[in-house]
Amino acid sequence: MKTETTLLLEPTIDDPLLAGVVEGSIDDLTQATRPAFLNNTDTPLSWGPDDWKAMDSTRADIFDLKAIERQFDPERYLSEGYIILEEINDRPGKGGLG
């Protein structure tokens, strides 16, 4: 299977079987992310364009994406399966994650 990666991990999939999975129905995934016992059927998998615009208009970044991009090595990630980031927080000391 050959994949090409662009910024971070946005693959272009050449394998028809894998592409079928990625491009297939999301009904099962939707059900799995919001099981009936949660009593909450609102899942981003069923959002429309207005829902995404509303979320985007109130979004605040918690990561310094430039710091992540500087440290990210796609070849190493693909061979080792994980990454370790030294710095990811764009707000040190303000309750961030890095």
Domain for residue 83, yes or no? yes
Please check whether residues 9 and 21 belong to one and the same domain.
yes
Place of tokens 């998998």: 45
Domain for residue 97, yes or no? no
Q: What is the mean pLDDT of the chain?
A: 76
Please check whether residues 55 and 88 belong to one and the same domain.
no
Q: What is the pLDDT of residue 8?
A: 43
The answer on pLDDT for 85 being more than 50 is yes
Distance CA 7, CA 97 (A): 22
Q: What is the pLDDT of residue 2?
A: 45
Domain that holds residue 55: 3-59
**Which of 73, 61, 58 has the alpha carbon at shortest distance from 97?**
61
Phi, psi angles (nearest 5°) of residue 16: -60, -35
Mean pLDDT of 20-49: 77
Domain for residue 75, yes or no? yes
State the pTM of this model: 0.37
